[in-house]
Structure 1
């Protein structure tokens, strides 16, 4: 039980030197990545850069002790930072102190929601974020992040917005104030990062950009030429501090917190599952992952950090450099602690144009063109869902975009299950196989006195009328020669009370018309419903068959069922025969 909530107890007891080397190298490498990334992502969140280092400290340690993934790199990420900025920025707070206090309280809310969902075993909630919605949102958010960082590259003061038309308008208005030194530095930094990435992605290019940027500002006096720098960064570890509880803003912050909590979990679990496939020595627990992220964010709020989740790039590096356990994250946190204690004065001359270049290159890698092209070719409905989410996120706002995207995906799901696939079946000549007549027009044999139909979904109030309409349409096509309607129920796993009443009416109506209604292939849960609802008496026990060919043979030759066929076709938990 204890290992379930503290998974580190599982790997700590078998920890050895072979694990130590890989964890140490991976931890140091990820820690080096986190220094520039943390500061850059803090800027996206609208926080001072030091808070990005705070977010890379305590949350890593908490997740290392409570998470079930042994390679997931937890810490500040671009997408969560942008969601936080969009949500808190909309509150129009006055002063940086008020903004920071609200972000810390929001982080506490996010962690509490994740922890609560984990304790309630609600990890399946992430399934409501479909891939088209995520892809459309991520691409739109990447564009907004990238455009939002242009102010650092241009050296201008651009008012931020989560609506692309407003943001682009603000950028154009500021073009007359471009600082050529900042522009040159930013462009050179972007080209340098792209070039180094082509040579080798193992090189800590963002750290090199930061070092070179600091040296350039120092030796060439670029600060005096109007290039923005990070400025003074306080040294020392973050102190324990209870977040300011802002009950008056709870109603405004709760939708943001729920969105970030679910999106952060989705991001983390998808990354963790990808890495888990390479490591059969452990197994992910989605509910414990929720609890681990929740505890990490709750701890983060008490140590002056904004929300954290899993990072794809740092997880990939962590795994690539040999991380075997959560100790890699602890080593990474120790490196961040050393940076906070001894190295923060070195970042005074760090140009914000360099951080902007790092962010732009990083987030534009999140724009996925391959997936929407594939959807356009094969799944037009999902492509439209992706495109709608993308456009809504760009034009309406981040929070609104993803929530409306989820709503659209649920509406698409409802539409599909309300209009499921229905197939008219025919017998493949010379066999006992029954297949869709539209797929095998030359091979199937169709009897004029029999209608065999397969309904590929559960029967419930939302599709019962569709089922009835399609059934009677096929009955009408058959004409007066029809004597038997055979429903293949293999794909029907549930029948609700509304659909049961509808079936009873259909059976009685067909009886009056001299048509016998027969069901084949009903699975156990469906047979239970037949017995519980009384449908079995309406349909008739003699009209249930195990397989379609048995029902057809009965109709053609009046061949009765064997004892085993009768027993299987009528078996139910409520009444075993």
Structure 2
């Protein structure tokens, strides 16, 4: 088997070792996840502004494609809250909800996102996720969770309300409060309360009753299904739909249809930026979950192949009546805890959802939308984490500023502006930190060949020699900072005759930084001070040898800092 084929088709690796034990565990995990995903898929389609069946369709073919191309053994792919909200925010600015054009635009958004992810994977651009700092992403997801929960209150209250940011939603909700449907509100509040109790209180109760862990796990995951069944029966038995309770209505009883996204240049141009943002956020969420779960079993995740897997899943969604998908946190954790051993568990889940799409859809005709809204609210509020504000404040004021700005901008301007701000702030935060690198003046630890910061340790120094350790690669953004630091240290100390740059932490020097080093060398020459380098890494030395800097440098290059001090210490 060709190694490159195995890289692009991980199923060829885990599929060859598949056995009865893995089959049994995967089937059990698939059963539990399918129970959870039926109401969740319907709910996320509602959040995205699409018919409920779109949620089922987006959870069938994409999962199967990911099983073939993905590297995570536990990741469950499908609609997720944040991506569904971003889908609704992107599409509602272009086409009207409820129209055929809206559904086609959703297909196109999924297809475009799939192409972007696939291209990133093929060109091995998985590293781009590193540009999104975790605190900023946590802030964005927290703010998005609040917006999502607020957006579902209209279904809980049985009123009409619109808005893509928190302020617009609150104003619209208050404006329509006189139209509240009390029966819908009772259903929504009871469903929400029950789902919260299922998450917190059902497990201890079942433990006291003596049930085993497997049955308890199934019962807890089946909580949303119980709410769906009970509220649907209530609406049907008491004719509540005639009293203003909004229901799901007729859902096609079929497998995912073959669909084709729009190739209109005008539409694709409008969808390009949202598709890029959805791809980035979806990938970051997915890879974070996949790596966390893989680490627990000492498995390896290939970020570039994950991009290919997610790209294939989104292209599959665009061709089968779905909308943008990614790896979900809650469903993946459930899949992992239920004992899934391979991606085949996802394929079995897809089969279960296909059976539900064929056989169970007539049963949800009277399902109240308030129940689906309750499912969404309970799911997304678990994503809200304001503790990130305290942690970032205690650890780094710059991180706190970035997190706070992301939360506020997302709440005030909406998810697209929020995620754009999050990406920009992550990059700016990195540039700010690296533009002011830690530069320590070091001295020799007595009796050793080690050198440490003079402000932190009792060290030996020579008045004629100054050693500065630069703890960052040198590039255009921080080169001038190094110039100023050296000038300020040397200009007012007439005893200094040698400046040593300890380069042990410098991995690269770009052309701007090289020019700054040339400027530093010239300024020190004018002060009758020599510039030396120590502990220069091989690749950095290779680059310096290609330039004329070493030939023009007033001092020498030393293999170690100890050698430099020993040679220059006499003044």
TM-score (norm 1): 0.93
Of residues 320, 324, 335, the one that matches 1:303 is 320
Aligned twin of 1:411 = 428
CA distance in 2: counterparts of 1:517 and 1:327, whole angstroms: 62
Q: CA deviation at 1:246?
A: 2.4
Q: CA deviation at 1:54?
A: 0.8
Secondary structure of the 2:306 match is helix
2:67 equivalent to 1:54: no
CA deviations 1:217-238 (Å, max 9, x no partner) are 1222221221111111111112
Query: Which sections of structure 1, spanning at least 5 residues, go unmatched?
Result: 559-577
2:410 equivalent to 1:387: no
Q: Could you tell me whether the CA contact under 8 Å between 1:433 and 1:549 is conserved in 2? A: yes
Aligned twin of 1:63 = 66
2:235 equivalent to 1:217: yes
Q: CA deviation at 1:95?
A: 5.0
Q: Could you tell me whether the CA contact under 8 Å between 2:139 and 2:388 is conserved in 1? A: no
CA distance in 2: counterparts of 1:8 and 1:548, whole angstroms: 51
> Residue 416 and residue 73 in structure 1: after superposition, are their counterparts in 2 closer, same or farther (change >3 A)?
same
Of residues 66, 75, 83, the one that matches 1:72 is 75
Aligned twin of 1:267 = 285
Q: CA deviation at 1:547?
A: 2.0
Of residues 197, 210, 223, the one that matches 1:205 is 223
CA distance in 2: counterparts of 1:249 and 1:386, whole angstroms: 33
Of residues 5, 22, 26, the one that matches 1:23 is 26
> Residue 534 and residue 57 in structure 1: after superposition, are their counterparts in 2 closer, same or farther (change >3 A)?
same
CA distance in 1: counterparts of 2:320 and 2:182, whole angstroms: 39
CA deviations 1:384-426 (Å, max 9, x no partner) are 1011011111111211111122112211211222211111112
CA distance in 1: counterparts of 2:512 and 2:56, whole angstroms: 57
Q: CA deviation at 1:94?
A: 6.9
Aligned twin of 2:365 = 348
Of residues 117, 121, 126, the one that matches 1:123 is 126
Of residues 525, 531, 537, the one that matches 1:511 is 525
Of residues 166, 182, 185, the one that matches 1:183 is 185
2:498 equivalent to 1:484: yes
2:515 equivalent to 1:501: yes
Secondary structure of the 2:360 match is helix
2:282 equivalent to 1:254: no
2:250 equivalent to 1:232: yes
Query: RMSD in angstroms over aligned alpha carbons?
Result: 1.6
Aligned twin of 2:173 = 171
Q: Could you tell me whether the CA contact under 8 Å between 2:149 and 2:381 is conserved in 1? A: yes
Q: May I ask how many residue pairs the two structures share in their alignment?
A: 552
Q: Could you tell me whether the CA contact under 8 Å between 2:444 and 2:452 is conserved in 1? A: yes
Q: CA deviation at 1:557?
A: 4.3
2:249 equivalent to 1:245: no
CA distance in 2: counterparts of 1:364 and 1:340, whole angstroms: 28
Aligned twin of 1:570 = none
Aligned twin of 2:195 = 193
Aligned twin of 1:113 = 116
> Residue 2 and residue 515 in structure 1: after superposition, are their counterparts in 2 closer, same or farther (change >3 A)?
closer
CA distance in 1: counterparts of 2:329 and 2:126, whole angstroms: 20
Q: CA deviation at 1:39?
A: 0.2
Q: CA deviation at 1:92?
A: 4.1
Aligned twin of 1:472 = 487
Of residues 532, 543, 550, the one that matches 2:563 is 550
CA distance in 2: counterparts of 1:324 and 1:509, whole angstroms: 64
Query: Which sections of structure 2, spanning at least 5 residues, go unmatched?
Result: 204-215
TM-score (norm 2): 0.94
Q: CA deviation at 1:449?
A: 1.5
